[in-house]
Amino acid sequence: MQRLLVIRNDKIGDFMLAWPSFAMLKASQDCHVTALVPAYTAELARLCPWIDEVILDPGKQADSAQQQALLATIKAARFDAAISLFSTGRVAWSLWRAGIPYRLAPATKWAQLLYNHRVRQRRSRSAKPEYQYNLDLIRHYLREQGLTPVEPQPPYLRFDAATLARVRAETAAALGIPAQQPWLMVHAGSGGSANNLSLDQYARLILGLQAVGSAPCVLTAGPGEEAKAAQLQALVQRQGGQAVIYHSVDGLTRFCQVLACADLFLAGSTGPLHICSALDVPTVGFFPMRRSATPLRWRPLNSEGRHLSFTPPQAGEEDMSRVDIDAAIAQILPWWQGWQTH
């Protein structure tokens, strides 16, 4: 059995977009897959059914002793191959020093010199979704092994029905909302990698969607996002709407289970949006038109037809205040109602 190390050691959203890569590897080859990830995505990695083991990357700020410990861990694992979906010189140096015989990465940075297999990619052109750039590396590896890639299909993250029924009931009781009605979830926070709507815009969206139904609105908030969620809640309530706040204080697994209870999820280009899309919850995303941040480049993992995206009106536009909220509401409502009848 081949022992493979796959590296995706950046943000939550980026890591979620690597899940199809793990799925393809396990479906196409008898292999043991280890993921190298930072501590803040490790819990998600352990949820992934196609990851057998997790190694924690201490990060570029770690001292030399921690970097040496990482090298020792990688070397001791005796990997047959390493596939770097996100390449940094620091990790490339460790893979080379560990003597891994097959080392694959995008041929886009100076660190490519430390890999003996490379795929030329121009990710900055954003010609395809990020998860497809990742899959291109996996396809290249498999074909070099004489194997036919098995294309993965969503959903990529699942929880059993009994678990979700329990979580929905517990969350409804804690937040004081009906468990039986559809839940609208909104995440107004942002990891900072892409511009987002204003709180006023999110409030207008919520009020517009609630105007034709009684769906409870759950505002999700990660660490450090509590104040923003509270401000949005106040805006909604001041204008006659209803919103409650779910704080993700019980770990990422529980947060994912609560997100799986959403009937519709709205957010900017954030980690929670990509978690929801891996669950195949219908998602609505708001993206700038900057080439490196477009809805094509960061297209979520939803199955066909279960995602809508909205942007400012002009190419190159980063001013999210120009997103037409009324037009978005008019498009979202019938689309969402269609999913509720499925």
Does 193 have pLDDT greater than 90? no
The CATH number of whichever domain residue 92 belongs to comes to: 3.40.50.2000
**How large a percentage of the chain has pLDDT more than 70?**
98
In a domain, 216, yes or no: yes
Q: Tens of pLDDT along 100-126?
A: 999 999 987 777 889 999 999 888 888
Domain shared by 232 and 171, yes or no: yes
Residue 192 pLDDT: 61
- As a whole number of angstroms, the distance between CA 109 and CA 66 comes to 24
In this structure, are residues 9 and 91 in contact, taking their beta carbons and an 8 Å threshold? Answer: yes
Domain that holds residue 89: 2-144
Domain end call among 91, 116, 144: 144
Domain shared by 47 and 106, yes or no: yes
In a domain, 58, yes or no: yes
Domain shared by 86 and 29, yes or no: yes
Amino acid letter for position 36: L
Number of structural domains (the chain) is 2
Q: Are strands 217-221 and 244-247 parallel, antiparallel or unpaired?
A: parallel
Q: Tens of pLDDT along 5-18?
A: 999 999 999 999 99
What's the rounded mean pLDDT across residues 245-255?
92
In a domain, 150, yes or no: no
Q: Where are the alpha helices (DSSP H) in the chain?
A: 12-16, 19-28, 39-47, 64-77, 89-97, 130-144, 161-175, 199-210, 226-238, 252-259, 271-279, 325-340
Domain shared by 209 and 86, yes or no: no
In this structure, are residues 199 and 155 in contact, taking their beta carbons and an 8 Å threshold? Answer: no
In a domain, 85, yes or no: yes
Domain shared by 204 and 326, yes or no: yes
In a domain, 149, yes or no: no
Residue 54 pLDDT: 98
Domain shared by 307 and 210, yes or no: yes
What's the rounded mean pLDDT across residues 196-214?
92
Cis peptide before 129 (omega within 30 of 0): no
Does 244 have pLDDT greater than 80? yes
Domain shared by 166 and 264, yes or no: yes
In this structure, are residues 284 and 264 in contact, taking their beta carbons and an 8 Å threshold? Answer: yes
Residue 83 pLDDT: 98
Domain shared by 92 and 137, yes or no: yes
Does 209 have pLDDT greater than 70? yes
- Categorize the per-residue pLDDT at 198 as very low, low, confident or very high, splitting at 50, 70 and 90: very high
Decide: helix, strand or coil at residue 216.
Answer: coil
In a domain, 155, yes or no: no
Domain shared by 173 and 243, yes or no: yes
Domain shared by 12 and 68, yes or no: yes
In a domain, 211, yes or no: yes
Domain shared by 134 and 28, yes or no: yes
Q: Tens of pLDDT along 146-185?
A: 999 999 999 999 999 999 999 999 999 999 999 999 999 9
In a domain, 303, yes or no: yes
Does 292 have pLDDT greater than 90? no
Q: Tens of pLDDT along 129-147?
A: 999 999 999 999 999 999 9
Residue 339 pLDDT: 72
Domain end call among 144, 171, 202: 144
Residue 211 pLDDT: 83
Does 315 have pLDDT greater than 90? no
Residue 279 pLDDT: 98
Does 289 have pLDDT greater than 90? no
Domain shared by 53 and 82, yes or no: yes
